[in-house]
Structure formats: C-alpha cells, structure tokens
Amino acid sequence: MALPASNLNFNNHPNNDTSEEDEDWELLLDLESTLSRNPNNNSIQLILDNLEDFNQINQNYSVNNQSTTHLSNLLSTSNTNNTQNNDSEVLSKSDIQSLLNINDDYNVSLICPICNKSLFNNDSNAHSSILDPNIQSCCEKFFKKINKISSYKISYWFYFLNNHYKTITTFPNLTKSFFYSINGIPSQLRSKIWGLILGGSDKFGNLKNKWFQDLFNNLNDDNSPYLRIIINDLNRIFPNLHYFNNELNDGQLNLKKILNAYSIYDSEIGYCQGLPFLISILLFHFKNNSITFLSLTKIFENNKNKNFKKIFDKKMTGLSLWFYQFDSIFAKFLPDLYNYFDLLKIDSKIFLSQWFLSFFAVSCPFQILIKLFDLMILEGFQPTIFKISLIILKKNENLLLNIDNEDIEVIYQHLLSENIWGVFNNDLNLILNDLINIDNNLISFQALEDLEIEFNKKNVSIKEENKTINNNTNTSNTSTSGGYYESPFVKFFRYGFTNTVYNQVPAKNQNKPHTQSTDSITESSVDSNFDAYSVSSHSSNSSNSIKRYHQKSVSSVNNNNFNVNININGKHQLMSTLNSSNTSIITGPEPNNLNSFDNSLEYNEMFGSLPQPNLLKVGNNGHQKSSSVFSVNSSFSTVSLNPSTPTNFYEVKQKMKKQFKLKEMELKNQIESLDSKVQIFEQIIHDDKQLIKKLFKLYLKSSKDVDESKITEKQRIKEYKVLKEVQQRIQI
C-alpha cells in the first residue's frame, strides 16, 4: 500500500523502554521530521486551519520552530485548554494504557487490515468483545496485536490528550498519519479525541462547559415544535446498530433529548433530516447528551463551518453555494467525467444533495463512516465532505464513463446507492490512500472562500445578463413577472445558474472592491432598520451603479412583519410599473431574518425573488456599509433599472409613497368612523344610566308609598309599567 503513513513503520521502530518523557518527545519529533520530508507535507494545512478555528486562536504558531520544546513546556502551557480545574492534572501514561485496555463498543470500528473485514458482527458483540466464532486467523492475530499498542503510539496519544492543540501543531504530519491510517486512532480513545478537537469535553472526557448541562436540561423542559417529526425519525437512524435499534435503548432516548434541545436552541436550523446522522455518530461515541450537544454547537459556531450550518437551515440556503463550489472543484479535478456529465445533462445536485446532507451515512458502511468522521472532525466538515465526494467520483469514473449514453438513470442509480463504495471493495486503506493524495490546495479553506466570492459575483453578473436579455428580447423575466414566486432553490434547480441565486456575502469580504462597478453614488446613511434600494445601471461599455439606502421613512411601520408585507405589496406595484419599461426587479426579504416572518408569509411570496447582498455594497467611494447590516433584523428590496430611465426609480419611489399615503388615509378614515361609532355607543350608555337612576328614584319613592299603603290601583299599574321598562332597557 502506498499510504504515506506507512513511512512510519510502527512495529520496526526500536522499542523505547525509557521512561523519560522528554526522550519520547524527541522521538516523536524525529518521526515528525521524517514525515515532513514527504512531498505531501503541504497537505497538513487543512488540519492547522481547522484547528486554529476550533480553538479560536490567532497565534501564528510556527510548526518548524518546535525542536526544542520539552515536555515540561508542553504540560505547563494551558493556553488552549480552558479546562477550569483540570489544568494542573495530567493524564499519565498508565492512565492511557488502562484506557486502551477497556473493551467497549467502539470496537465496532475495528477492521482487520489484512482482509478488511469488520472484527465484530454487530455493536453489541463489539461491546462485550465477543469475537465471531468463525473469525479468520488474520483477524484474531490482529485483534491480539492491537491490544498491545506500541509504546510511542501511547506517547503520542499521551501528549495529544494532555494538550492536543500543541501536539497537533508540533506534529502535524504525525497527526495526519495517525488519522489517515486504519486503526490509527485507538478506538477506545476516539471519543476523547473527538471531544478535545471539537471542544465538547476535556481530556478526562468530562463536559467542558459545566453550565451546558443546565442549559441542556432547561431546553428539554420544553417540547420543540419539531418533536412529532423527531419522534417519527428516531427509529430511522442507524437501525442496524444495537444502540439505536430499540425505542427503549439509551440511544433513541438520548437522541430524542438532543434533537429536541437543539431544535429549540437553534431556531435557524430547528430540525433537519440528515442532521441526526451527525448527532447520532457523536452520541454513539460520547455516550453523553451534554457533551454531544456542546460539540454540536461548537461545530456550527465555528467560523470555518459557517456554510456547513447553512445547508441545514430552513431554506437550505447554503446548499446552492456548496453545489457551485463543488462543481468548480469537480471540473478541475476530474475534467473528463465532468464534461461527460455535462454532455448527458446529468444533474450533479441530485446525488450531491444526498451525499452532503447525510454525511454519506445513507450509503456508507458504518465502520468506514466512523473513519471518515475522524477526518471531518480533524480537517473540517466541508473540505472533507468535498474530498470524499471527489474520490468517490474518481474511483467510479471508469465505470461511469463506460455506461451507454442513454442510460442516465443507471448513473443516477449507481451514485445514489451503496454501490459507490463497491469500487473500494470495502477497503478502507484504498479510501484513505485516495483521500490523502488529493491536492489539498483544491479544497483548502482559502480556495473555498475564493469560490464563494466568485459565486456571489457570478450571481450579480447573471442578474445583469438577465436584465440585458430582458432588454433585448423585450420579454419579461419569468421569475419576476410570473404569477407566483419560487424559492431561490426551486429556481436554482429549475434553471441552474441562468437565474439569480441568493447567497450571502461573507462579512469579511464586504471590504473587497467590486469588480464591475466603477462609479457609485451613495445616498444617506444606513440605519439598523432600513429599506435599501439599489439601482445598478448597465450599458455595453461601462457599468455604473447607484446605490441608495433609503432610511425607513414611514415612522408608523416598526413591526418587521408589517414591513415585509409592505415590501411585497410594493413589489407587485413595482412590477406593474417596471415591466413596461423593460427592467427587472429583484426584491426580497433579508435572508438572515427569515425566521421572524416565516409564519406570516406564504413560502413563495417570501422568496419572490432574490436579494443580492452584493448590490448593497457601496463601491469605491470609501463609504463602506458595515457588515452588521447582515445581522440586523431588517428587510430590504433591491431594484435594478435601466440606465436610460434613471428617473423611473424616483417615479417608483413616488408611487410607493403615494400608495403608503393612500393606505394611511384609508386607515385614518376607518379609525374616524370607528371613533364616531364609539361615541354613539357611549351616548347610549350614558342615556341608559340616566334613565336607570331616574327609575330607581321613582322606585324608592313608590316603595315608600307601598309601605304607607297609600297606593292606588292606578299607581300600581304605573309602577309596574316603569319596572317593565327598566327590565327591557337592561336587557337591551
């Protein structure tokens, strides 16, 4: 096997009997320097990038200046591990040795490297370490061997558990070789390793932020609106695993609590089918609700994973970006297959949506999946998911290219089924080998970010293109003039990139100059609650853009929901105005704010068309809009107009103002009429009160008369009538 990690022949290494920890450290450094001479050493960048972000540390930690680091240094520095009480305590080697001797159901991930078969039938056997009676000799030998882990492997994990940050940055190549080799991570330590990297637990496997326990419990006091669907799904997550296959088992009970808590905690995502695969794999290892919950939040909080979170949100807004990024990388990585798919009009989104949203859990054998998760956790989710997708396509390339042209559905069927893993013949080594050999520059965080910028720019240019088409053909754009509105996603799938697709510009890119726009005019400041109109003009030679931020002028409109409604009403009106002058309009609510009006609007209306955050950016005149605009609760409209009719914008604005005024008048009239009615009723009530007072006096007088027995028959009748009237009056 050509795995670079095999440069490290663990078994032939002179067994280091010395108990001097510094010597172990030196030994690991030697190994590291051997590995770093490997031509693949640029590929550690993903690990370091990802790690840096997970720990939110901006130190420029140089990997090359580590040769003099000693154990004493290592263990005394607690810069990254924010464990409150445990900093001074250190896991000893014997602790780790004893940890390694624990047999538990993490064994389920053990695979014999010789025959590539899983050592245990199922997770319950793995839990009790019951080997299959029919086990082959190679597997049995292997099982005995892994129980005796060579000493420097122990040293490495000893350092790792005590200070994973420093260990990884000091030995990135060694780390990589451990993570990329079969059984490179001792399965007994896996949960601790994941917990440390994700920041969910400390080196002892305890919850890192104690208060999260309370938060978790508090969240579970309520029932999520998603609870019904969560319960429906509980027995549909890894039904082959003993831990999850019974509703009375811990697995399902805990999973329910975590999903319930998380869907309340994170209203942007709520509950999304697909996510339970991630959560259940974490839970299966942590076996602790709060740690799983904390790790999950840390994954999504990580800035590097910002687009990862978005693929699960309510409108799956991040998915179209992922498709774009992946397609670009795919075209570079496997041009033949890419062109072939293009020729057959195969829509890669169809299988990519399954792969991305399920972490391959739908098709991937479980023990391989765990190994893939090691890498996702170490190197970041998006790059690793992309890498895995690429090697699947690469491995299947020959098969796919040799299918008859007409048989598109065979290709789809193949790519959506577990058959994609068949080419690896269930051989984890092959997968890992392919993964480690991918040029990481293709999918580095920087590369992904560049593609994101490109994606956002492309949306702008596509929009301009659409506008040009509209001008030329004198037909109106279906997306803006149709009777109904489609979500950006529906559009994306329907028309691919010919229509505009929303994606949010990352905050840090706000400052980069826009490529196309040369002249920009900015008017008025940006308020935290604003309507923005952007007029971008376009001609054959130059493109000017006029951006205008229109501070909300209608003082009575403070409510977000109301605001959005008005936007949409305004859109209808805008469209009728502008269609006659060959312009396209892009209008829509601000995407960050979707949740707040999710319930108040029809799905289609909400995404009537797409907002273009790029257009909000002010050009070269230095008046930069702050990135906070994207986080405030606001909505905006964007209007693109033809340069020859710039006054249209003002007409539109005037019309909208008129519309508002008319509405205002209408409402005022209504209020007035209501007021007058109220007055009438008050008058009636007043009159009644007067009458009752009168009658009551009369009654008192008459009752006196009764006492004195001086009432005549006539008086009685009169009194009776009066009382009758009182009763009637009261009834009315």
Partner 1 sequence: MSAPRSSIASDTPRFAQFKLVLLGESAVGKSSIVHRFVKDQFDEFRESTIGAAFLTQTVLLPNNITIKFEIWDTAGQERYKSLAPMYYRNANCAIIVYDITQESSLEKAKQWVKELQRQANQDIIIALAGNKLDLAESDPSTRKIKKEDAFTYSREENLLFFEVSAKTGEGVKNIFQSIAKKLPIDDFKPASSNANLRNSRHNLGVDLSRSSINQSSCNC
| Part in contact with partner 1 (CB under 8 A); list of ranges 153-161, 313-321, 616-624, 687-695 | 313-321
Residues 229-258 interacting with partner 1 (rule: CB under 8 A):
229, 232-233, 235-240, 245
Instruction: Write down the least CB distance from residue 600 to partner 1, Å.
Output: 16
CA geometry: angle 611, 597, 573, nearest 5 deg: 55
Question: Restricting to residues 141-200, which ones interact with partner 1 according to CB under 8 A?
Answer: none
CA distance 654 to 648: 9
CB of 131 to partner 1, least distance (A): 10
SS3 of residue 644 by DSSP: coil
Nearest to 467 by CA among 538, 391, 560: 538
Binder to partner 1 among 419, 525, 528, 595 (CB under 8 A)?
419
The CB-of-268 to partner 1 minimum distance in angstroms stands at 12
Q: Between residue 425 and residue 444, which ones bind partner 1 under the rule CB under 8 A?
A: 425-426
Q: Report the alpha-carbon distance of residue 286 to residue 275 in Å, rounded.
A: 17
φ, ψ at 544 (rounded to 5°):
-110, 150
Q: Which is nearer to partner 1, 196 or 269 (CB)?
A: 269
| Secondary structure letter of residue 609 according to DSSP | S
Tally Cβ neighbours within 10 Å of residue 540: 6
Burial class of residue 465 in the structure, from the number of CB atoms within 10 Å of its CB (0-12 exposed, 13-18 middle, 19+ buried) = middle
In the complex, the smallest distance separating the C-beta of residue 404 from partner 1, rounded to whole angstroms, is: 5
Among 3, 4, 9, 7, which residue's Cα sits nearest to residue 152? Answer: 9
Q: Is 661 in the site for partner 1 (CB under 8 A)?
A: no
Q: Which of 95, 132, 434, 527 binds partner 1 (CB under 8 A)?
A: 132
Q: Is 223 in the site for partner 1 (CB under 8 A)?
A: no
- 3-state SS, residue 536: strand
Ranges within 535-554 binding partner 1 (CB under 8 A):
none
Could you give the string, one character per residue 270-289, with x where binding to partner 1 holds by CB under 8 A and - elsewhere? --xxx-xx------------
Q: How far apart are CA 675 and CA 536, in angstroms?
A: 47
Query: Interface with partner 1 by CB under 8 A: which range of 113-121, 166-174, 297-305, 581-589?
Result: 113-121
* Nearer Cβ to partner 1 (265/351): 351
State the Cα–Cα distance between residues 641 and 650, nearest whole angstrom: 11
Q: Is 394 in the site for partner 1 (CB under 8 A)?
A: no
Q: Which is nearer to partner 1, 416 or 723 (CB)?
A: 416
Stretch that binds partner 1, among 158-166, 355-363, 581-589, 685-693 (CB under 8 A): 355-363
Among 127, 298, 315, 655, binds partner 1 (CB under 8 A): 315
Near partner 1 by CB under 8 A, which window of 114-122, 189-197, 659-667, 706-714?
A: 114-122
Q: Which is nearer to partner 1, 274 or 643 (CB)?
A: 274
717 touching partner 1, by CB under 8 A: no
CB of 674 to partner 1, least distance (A): 37
Closer residue to partner 1 (CB): 370 or 566:
370
How far apart CA 447 and CA 326 sit, in angstroms, is: 11
DSSP 229: H
Q: Does the protein bind partner 1 through residue 122 (CB under 8 A)?
A: yes
**Sole window of 155-163, 177-185, 350-358, 719-727 interacting with partner 1 (rule: CB under 8 A):** 350-358
- Nearest distance from residue 8's CB to partner 1, in Å? 24
User: Min. distance of Cβ 725 from partner 1 in angstroms?
Assistant: 54
Distance CA 483, CA 492 (A): 18
Stretch that binds partner 1, among 205-213, 287-295, 346-354, 441-449 (CB under 8 A): 346-354
- Please, what is the minimum distance in Å from the beta carbon of residue 58 to partner 1? 35
Residue 577 binds partner 1 (CB under 8 A): no
| Exposure string over 345-382, b if 16+ CB within 10 A, otherwise e | ebebbebbbbbbbbbbbebbbbbbbbbbbbbbbbbbbb
Shortest Cβ distance from residue 243 to partner 1 (Å)? 13
Contact track, partner 1, 364-383, x by CB under 8 A: -xxx----------------
DSSP readout, 74-114?
Answer: HHH--SS---SSTTS----HHHHHHHHH---GGGGG-B-TT
Minimum separation from the CB atom of position 596 to partner 1 (A): 17
CB of 271 to partner 1, least distance (A): 8
Token output for 623:
């008046």
Is the CB of 206 or the CB of 245 nearer to partner 1?
A: 245
Distance, CA of 400 to CA of 398 (rounded, Å): 5
Q: Which of 410, 667, 685, 700 binds partner 1 (CB under 8 A)?
A: 410
Classify residue 187 as exposed, middle or buried by CB count within 10 Å of its CB (0-12, 13-18, 19+): buried
* Sole window of 15-23, 402-410, 675-683, 719-727 interacting with partner 1 (rule: CB under 8 A): 402-410
Q: Between residues 232 and 683, which has the closer beta carbon with respect to partner 1? A: 232
Q: Looking at 325-333, 418-426, 578-586, 705-713, which segment touches partner 1 (CB under 8 A)? A: 418-426
Q: Label the pairing between strands 519-523 and 543-551.
A: parallel
Owner of token pair 């028309």: 495
Size of the site for partner 1 (CB under 8 A): 74
Of positions 309, 310, 349, 550, contacts partner 1 by CB under 8 A: 349
Among 1, 102, 114, 665, binds partner 1 (CB under 8 A): 114
Tell me if 124 contacts partner 1 by CB under 8 A: no
Please enumerate, as own/partner, the contacts of 365-370 that have beta carbons within 8 Å and a separation of 24 or more: 365/418, 365/421, 365/426, 366/108, 366/109, 366/238, 366/240, 366/241, 367/108, 367/109, 367/110, 367/111, 367/118, 367/428, 368/421, 368/426, 368/428, 368/431, 369/281, 370/108, 370/109, 370/190, 370/281
Residues 6 or more apart whose CB falls under 8 angstroms from that of 496 comprise none
Q: How many residues are given for the chain?
A: 732
| Shortest spacing between CB 381 and partner 1, in angstroms | 16
* Cβ atoms of 379 and 50 closer than 8 Å: yes
Among 116, 124, 498, 529, binds partner 1 (CB under 8 A): 116
344 is written with which tokens? 């057959």
Interface of this chain with partner 1, residues 81 to 110, rule: CB under 8 A: 108
3-state DSSP call for residue 140? helix
DSSP 196-214: HHHTSB-TTS-BSSTHHHH
Please report the sign of the dihedral spanned by the C-alpha atoms of residue 181, residue 182, residue 186, residue 187: positive
Q: Which of 22, 250, 407, 664 binds partner 1 (CB under 8 A)?
A: 407
- The window from 21-29, 84-92, 156-164, 309-317 that contacts partner 1 (CB under 8 A) reads 309-317
The residue (of 113 and 570) whose beta carbon lies closer to partner 1 is 113
Residue ranges in 471-530 that form contacts with partner 1 under rule CB under 8 A = 484, 487, 489-490, 493-494
Interacting residue with partner 1 among 23, 301, 347, 527 (CB under 8 A): 347
Closer CB to partner 1, residue 80 or residue 593? 593
Interface with partner 1 includes 118 (CB under 8 A)?
yes
Structure tokens at 504: 């949010």
Q: Is 412 in the site for partner 1 (CB under 8 A)?
A: yes
Angle between helices 366-379 and 428-437 (to 10 degrees): 20
